[in-house]
Amino acid sequence: MAVRKVLKYGEKSLREPSKEVHKVSKKIQDLVQDLLDTMYANNGVGLAAPQIGVNLRVFVIDVSKNDEPFNPVVFINPKIIKKSGAMIKQEGCLSFPEAYTDVKRYKNVMVKAMDIKGKSFVLEAKDGELMANAIQHENDHLDGILFIDHCVNRFEADEVLKKFDLPPIDADMLLEEPELEKLLQDEKD
């Protein structure tokens, strides 16, 4: 298929919610292949359709290590159906080249989605593993939410963004996450 251009932070369409996929057609399967080609070409772990300018509820993830064969997972119309635990992890994004900052995430998530054949599946990612992080990160893209909206320290994140000539954080987009905050506090106690 094709390696597509990854939109950079600041592009308006990254903030727009995506539409449901009504049928896993050839067009959707081609989109999935483009997402995979683009993700691998950029050494990414995940990529959501909005990042290549397509506002549909589709993302791909591959958490295989360098010495392992590719093991892509396709998520169409994903819904996170369960989440628990909390963690702070350093995160980056292909739409924010080389910029990383600490974010708040759930440790455990369960997601329901369709695969590239339109078959429904449920996947559970636990214990703060990379898959748990990636599911939340990519799923956020489908709602116009970016990883920096979960940042632990807005001012540190702004410094990182500035260093890479990226726009500063939009304070109105920062998420109020009382449930996550409480879980993080409980982890400390």
Residue with tokens 């791909």: 60
Query: Are the C-beta atoms of residues 10 and 170 closer than 8 Å to each other?
Result: no
The whole-angstrom separation of Cα 176 and Cα 189 is: 21
Query: Are the C-beta atoms of residues 58 and 31 closer than 8 Å to each other?
Result: yes
For residues 133-143, one letter each, b for 16 or more C-beta atoms within 10 angstroms of the residue's C-beta and e for the rest, the string is: bbbbbbbbbbe
Q: Can you say whether the dihedral through the CA atoms of 108, 112, 113, 114 is positive or negative?
A: positive
Instruction: Locate the domains of the chain by residue range.
Output: 12-188
Query: Is 0.85 surpassed by the pTM of this model?
Result: yes
Residue 138 among the catalytic residues:
yes
Closest alpha carbon to 93 in 29, 24, 176, 11: 11
Which of 138, 159, 176, 179 is labelled catalytic?
138
Closest alpha carbon to 93 in 131, 46, 50: 46
pLDDT tens across the length of the chain (189 residues):
799 999 999 999 999 999 999 999 999 999 999 999 999 999 999 999 999 999 999 999 999 988 899 999 999 999 999 999 999 999 999 999 999 999 999 999 999 999 999 999 999 999 989 999 999 999 999 999 999 999 999 999 999 999 999 999 999 999 999 998 888 888 777
DSSP state of 127: T
Token pair of 112 as six digits? 């329901």
Q: Are strands 120-125 and 73-84 parallel, antiparallel or unpaired?
A: unpaired
Neighbouring residues of 29: CB distance < 8 A, sequence distance ≥ 6: 116
Q: What are the backbone angles phi and psi of residue 57, rounded to the nearest 5°? A: -80, 75
Could you tell me the fold of the domain covering 12-188?
Peptide Deformylase (3.90.45)
How many of the other CB atoms lie within 10 Å of CB of 103?
A: 23
